[in-house]
Amino acid sequence: QVQLVQSGAEVKKPGSSVKVSCKASGGIFRNYAINWVRQAPGQGLEWMGGIVTMYNTANYAQKFQDRVTITADESTTTAYMELSSLTSQDTAVYYCARTHWNGPSDFWGQGTLVTVSS
Amino acid sequence: EILLTQSPATLSLSPGERATLSCVASQSFTGSYLAWYQQKPGLAPRLLIYDASDRATGIPDRFSGSGSGTDFTLTISSLEPEDFAVYYCQQYGVSPRTFGQGTRVEIK
């Protein structure tokens, strides 16, 4: 059974960075992409970017282009999303999702709450 | 960037009724690459429909998707109590992938 297990909740200061991990099991890691999606409190879903694990190439939504870095470690089947220069607007639940190439996201992590507060 | 507009924002229905949710894209995109997700409070989204009309594994056949070009529809033929949730459409034909703002299906 495919599972994505994310790292725990974080509380960060404005201006700092956060790195969230996403450990995948039960599938062939390199055959899929990992996407990251966030959801601010009471709001909808927002696609941040993704990485094609086989080629270790990432692409990002323009909104996050200069602040986000998505990486993957095939040896540990773990993907990471690092977001820098945090503000209160970045307070959200961050999800990773296994994503088919040119396809949907079929398995999701449980979400990681990142709270940005002084 | 392709904008997806979902309507209505909220749908108030009773169990057993039919739900029809709309998702309209600002421009057409490759191959009807559109998905529908269901999300319940405190949980991650769940894939229901992909490629506009294909049901994901384990999804009951009361859920169906249709449409092409810029107009897409999710239909729930007869609402079960567990179907009351928020539904999002997402296009993955053009980068960046984008989501609609969601439709809440609530108990009338």
Which among B4, B55, B95 is the top mutation candidate for probing chain A, defined by the most A β-carbons within 10 Å of its own β-carbon?
B95
**Which residue in chain B is spatially nearest to A94 when comparing CA positions?**
B44
Flag whether pLDDT at B30 surpasses 80.
Answer: no
In degrees, rounded to 5, the angle at the alpha carbon of residue A109 between the alpha carbons of residues A105 and A113 is: 125
- Phi first, then psi, for residue A70 (nearest 5°) are -110, 130
Q: Is A103–B88 a contact, with Cβ atoms under 8 angstroms apart?
A: no
Q: What is the mean pLDDT of residues B31-38?
A: 94
Instruction: Please give, rounded to a whole number of angstroms, the shortest distance from the CA of B29 to a CA of chain A.
Output: 12
Alpha-carbon torsion A34, A46, B96, B48, what sign? positive
Residue A27 is predicted with a pLDDT of 82
Residue among A35, A108, A110 with most chain B CBs within 10 A, to mutate: A108
Per-residue model confidence (pLDDT) at position A56: 87
Contacts of B45 in chain A (CB under 8 A): 37, 45, 95, 97, 105, 108
A89: helix, coil or strand?
Answer: helix
The pLDDT tens digits for A23-35 are: 999 988 888 999 9
| Cβ contact A106–B47 (<8 Å) | yes
* Confidence label for A54 from pLDDT (cuts 50, 70 and 90): confident
